[in-house]
Structures are given as structure tokens and as C-alpha cells.
Chain A
Amino acid sequence: MLPSSSYQPNYFSIEDILATQERTPCKFLQDVPRMGKLNPSAEEKDLKVGTELELPLWLVLDGAAGRQLILAPELPKIYREAYREILKADATAIDLHKFNLYFYELGSYIKHFDRRGDVHNILLHTFTTRFRLIMDLANNADSDPTIQNKLDTLERRLFKDGHNARMKLNTWLLESGIPLKAASMVDNHRKRKRVNEELV
């Protein structure tokens, strides 16, 4: 059973297309003839060296590749130092959906613009710290359905898969005439006592 979230970008992947249309700031290293139209603030026919523009990522990727570099990409603001600090402080508190719909997808492109690997580390850090959040959500999603709005697309898919599996298991546990259940007294506690706090 191949997992549905085994996602590898390819030419026709809608998600990849959507992720790569994010505006990415970049600076031109060469004059580009007849491309003045890309710069809406200038009337000239050619793009001058040193122009700073925000272009979609798919264009930037090609411009920043090859033997002759046409432009130098910069990090979009959500991957810059200030935002990285926020993520480092507490990644679980963040509305990643507002940051970017494709935080991780975009991040894995963007991180190549960052030589020091900070972006790479923050992606990993964000994912690993938020995993608990996703897992807990998937296990008890009925408590607050709006909370999944804080997840980015990739996390949301993980959540959905996890949630479906969880629901199946719950139905299975309940479907026999006499379900396996915890003592009613335990259920009546608003919160179940942890068995042994440091063990579990």
C-alpha cells in the first residue's frame, strides 16, 4: 500500500505548481534585453543590472541556474531570520497556514538559496516539533475541528490520513455488540489521570 502522501514533485504535480508560484525576491546580475515588462515600475525596454524584483519561484529557479547567472535569489520573508526566530521559539503555536500554504514544499526549494543551512534546519525543527500536534489532533479531532486550520498543506494531509485510520480503529473497537470500554468511572473524570507521569 503506497501511502497517498508519498509526494514527489513532478512536472504535472498541481501542488508543486502552486508551491512554486510564490513570489521570491531577487536581484538581477545582468542586463536582460527586452524583459523590461517584468518590471512594472519602469518604462524601459530592457531590464537593467541591479534591478530588484519579486518573481515567481519557478522563474527565479531557472534564472539562478546554469552557467550564466542572470539573477541572485533572496529568501522570502517567512524564511528569514526574524521568522525563523519565531519558529524556533515555539513552532506549535504558529498558524503555519498563514505563513504559507506550502511551507515545507516551498522551503525545500528555498533552502538552496541559503548557504548556511539555517532554512534547512528550521524546516526540520518545525516539522519535528509540530508532529506531536498533528498526532494529537489526528487522535482527537472531534474536540475542536477548527484547529486543523493552523496546518499547512503537507501537515493537513498527514492529519487526514492519521485521522481516517484512527476513526477506522475506533469503529472497529466499538462495532461488536458489547464494546471494549474503560470503566465508566474513568470516563466520568473530565481528564483521565496519567498512569505515571514520568513514565508515559
Chain B
Amino acid sequence: MDPDEVEFLGEKSMIEIVPTFNSAPIYFIGGDVGPFRASIPLRVPLWVAVHLKQQQQCKIIPPDWMDLEKLENLKEEEKSNRSFIKMPSEHYIVEAKLILGCAADDIPRTDEIRTIIKDIWDIRKSKLRSSMDQMIKKSAMYAAVDNLTLMEINSIRPLLPHALEQIYRIKSNKRAILNRTQGSVTTPSNATGSFTN
């Protein structure tokens, strides 16, 4: 998947805005948005929010977690924890990028928030990398990917699945020739297992 596709999925998450205009509800395939009353907050999909913000027709209220103190705590927790901790939002990186990108004036201390989110992202990426390496080295059968967000999972594609597939190929690559050199006629399945491990 492209990061853009992940972004597209992330744009569906809801966010609170304060519109500066009045409008009847807008009907979309995915659901209705509105009605808009000036300075009455309401929840809309992120993409609507970004769109309105670009036209200067609303103020974006940042999600609860986009707060310096909470993010500091999150970062500390992420640092001290061996596994991944639960992120406040499944698409935190997408939301952060979009909101901070278009509505920097609605959020206090944007620069610091931007930096700290990137730090969290980097910490998680480095954890992800070392656990991938361990998984491959130990030829583990599975790995728990609890609390990984979609963008993070997507960032290890296609490398990890391809590598696992190649390992599988190396492991399972038993050809009929093995049986034939033994001079006996056996089904291919009988040959497997003799070399594995």
C-alpha cells in the first residue's frame, strides 16, 4: 500500500471543528455531515475538516491527545516499555501530519508537538526494526503486532513479507528430484521434513 492510501483511510477518522458559516447538512455516501451552525462545534471526518480549513471556514479543535503534556508522557512510556504501547489514535501520524500541516494556527505550540510526535514515531520505528530483525534471526513462526498503527505496519511492507516468503521458499524447497535420486518412487510430501531444522 502507498502511504497515500493509508492517509486516505486515516482521513475518515472524526475530528471536532468550529465552523464559521451556516449550512444545511451535506449528504455523502459515507454519511451525513452537518448541519453547520457558526461557532457551534461539531464532529466531521478529517478530510472535510482539512478542506474547510483550507477555505478558512472553520477552526480545527485538536484531538485530546494532541497536547504537549500528554505526548510527553506517551513518549516516556514508549521509551521505557519494551513492547509497543497503545497509541491514542490508530492513525496518529496521519492526523498529526494533516492537522499540523493545515491548521498550525489553531494549535498551541505546534513546533514542539510536531517534534515530539516525530520522536515517538522514530522510537517506534527503531523498536519495530529491531523486533523484525529478531524475528527473522530466530525464524519465529509469528509475531504479535499489538498496538501497531496502520502506517507503521505499512512501513515494513514489502520487505518483511517478502523476506518471510523467501525463507519459506528456502525451507520448503523440496523438489521431486530428491525422491528420484533415492531411486524410489515416493510422493513429494514424503521427502519434506528430512532437511528442515
Check A161 against B162 for contact (C-beta < 8 Å): yes
Check B126 against A104 for contact (C-beta < 8 Å): no
Count of chain A residues with Cβ under 8 Å from any Cβ of B?
A: 57
Q: A64-B177, A161-B158, A172-B7 are in contact. Are A180 and B123 (CB under 8 A)?
A: no
Count of chain B residues with Cβ under 8 Å from any Cβ of A?
A: 58
Q: With a CB–CB cut-off of 8 A, which chain A residues contact B170?
A: 104, 107-108, 120, 123-124, 127
Interface centre among B119, B121, B136, B159 (most CB of A within 10 A): B159
The minimal Cβ–Cβ distance linking A99 to chain B, given in whole angstroms, is 16
> Contacting A178 at CB < 8 Å: which of B114, B117, B119, B130?
B114
Chain A residues 113-128 with CB under 8 Å of chain B are: 113, 117, 120, 123-124, 127-128
- Against B, the Cβ 8 Å flags (1 = close, 0 = not) of A56-82 are 000001001111010000000000000
Among the stretches A35-43, A46-54, A131-139, the one at the interface with B is A131-139
Chain A residues 154-192 with CB under 8 Å of chain B are: 154, 158, 161-162, 165-166, 168-169, 171-173, 176-178, 180-183, 186, 192
Among the stretches B15-23, B39-47, B63-71, B95-103, the one at the interface with A is B95-103
Check A112 against B118 for contact (C-beta < 8 Å): no
**Alpha-carbon distance A123/B178, docked complex (angstroms):** 17
By DSSP majority rule, is chain B's interface helix, strand, loop, or mixed? helix
**Nearest chain B residue, comparing its CB with the CB of A157:** B162
- Against B, the Cβ 8 Å flags (1 = close, 0 = not) of A135-150 are 1001100000000000
Check A65 against B177 for contact (C-beta < 8 Å): yes
Q: A3-B161, A5-B162, A180-B96 are in contact. Are A195 and B123 (CB under 8 A)?
A: yes
**Alpha-carbon distance A128/B163, docked complex (angstroms):** 9
Q: With a CB–CB cut-off of 8 A, which chain B residues contact A64?
A: 177, 180-181
- Against B, the Cβ 8 Å flags (1 = close, 0 = not) of A1-14 are 10101111000000
Does A200 make an interface contact (CB < 8 A)? Answer: yes
**Alpha-carbon distance A5/B167, docked complex (angstroms):** 12
Apart from the given pairs A113-B181, A180-B121, 9 other A-B contacts in the complex at a CB distance below 8 Å: A3-B158, A5-B166, A112-B181, A132-B137, A139-B129, A158-B163, A162-B159, A162-B162, A169-B154
Q: Can you name 28 A-B pairs with beta carbons within 8 Å?
A: A3-B158, A3-B161, A5-B158, A6-B162, A61-B177, A112-B178, A120-B195, A127-B163, A127-B166, A134-B163, A139-B129, A158-B162, A158-B166, A161-B158, A162-B158, A165-B159, A168-B3, A169-B3, A169-B154, A169-B155, A176-B100, A178-B114, A180-B118, A180-B121, A181-B115, A194-B126, A195-B126, A196-B80
Query: Sorted from nearest, which 9 A-B pairs have the closest CB atoms?
Result: A172-B3, A176-B101, A162-B159, A117-B195, A108-B173, A65-B180, A131-B136, A120-B195, A132-B133
